[in-house]
Amino acid sequence: MISLSRWQLKLSLVSMWIVTILTPLVTFPSSFSYESHYGRDIWSVEPLYLFLFGAYDPSRGTTPSGWSTGPGYLVVVGLLLFFFIAYALLVTIYSIDPRNKRWVIAIGVLSLFIPYAFAGFIMIPIEILLGAGGVFIGPLPFQFVLGLVSMKIAERKQEVLKDDSVEEEHLMDEKH
């Protein structure tokens, strides 16, 4: 039972780190456009995808394929993606030694809220945030959900370890 729990925990942590590194953590608007066709008002949003190690802007033609990285991007990582990195680290630490679940979840929630604040949650009209032009603006919760799964598996593993140690103590007491 313990080995299956360890295997599940390792798989969930590896999955969370892969998602953190390879998938976009946040989608921001890089440009807005507004058009009126046949009496219909249409918002169009060009997305900017922020990954842990670079940003992808499909509408930008200054670099081949729209990727940007480097020192300027490190500032964005430091300010905006700090909580994503902190959440991934805290989930990993929690999985080794489950203690402060509230702090881990609080950092995870901040990783979902801070990008909205930077995107101008109050200033951007709600219809744009909800996906005008088919683009979601804000954090993508893949990492947050995988972190919660990892934490749940770590708690189960800890319960199994406690149950096994109680049984061993009980067996030791019976022998003496």
Tens-place pLDDT, residues 120-152:
554 455 555 555 556 677 777 888 888 888 888
Q: Which of the pair, 37 or 74, is modelled with greater confidence?
A: 74
Alpha helices in the chain (DSSP H): 2-22, 71-80, 82-96, 101-119, 126-129, 142-175
Is residue 33 pLDDT above 80, yes or no? no
Is residue 1 pLDDT above 50, yes or no? no
Q: Using pLDDT thresholds of 50, 70 and 90, give the confidence band for residue 176.
A: low
Give dist(CA 119, CA 129) in Å, integer.
Answer: 9
Residue 54 main-chain phi, psi, to 5 deg = 170, 165
Give the orientation angle of helix 142-175 with respect to helix 82-96, to 10 degrees. Answer: 10
Residue 131 main-chain phi, psi, to 5 deg = 110, 40
Evaluate if pTM is beyond 0.75.
Answer: no
Task: Name the residue type at position 169.
Answer: E
Q: Which residues contact 58 (CB under 8 A, 6 or more apart)?
A: 46, 47, 66
59-112 pLDDT per residue, tens: 765 555 677 777 777 777 777 788 888 899 998 888 888 778 888 999 999 988
Nearest to 28 by CA among 139, 123, 151: 139
Nearest to 143 by CA among 94, 91, 78, 96: 91
Q: Do the beta carbons of residue 5 and residue 149 sit within 8 Å?
A: no
5-26 pLDDT per residue, tens: 678 888 888 888 888 888 888 8
Q: Do the beta carbons of residue 36 and residue 27 sit within 8 Å?
A: no
Q: Using pLDDT thresholds of 50, 70 and 90, give the confidence band for residue 174.
A: low
By three-state DSSP, how is residue 4 classified?
Answer: helix
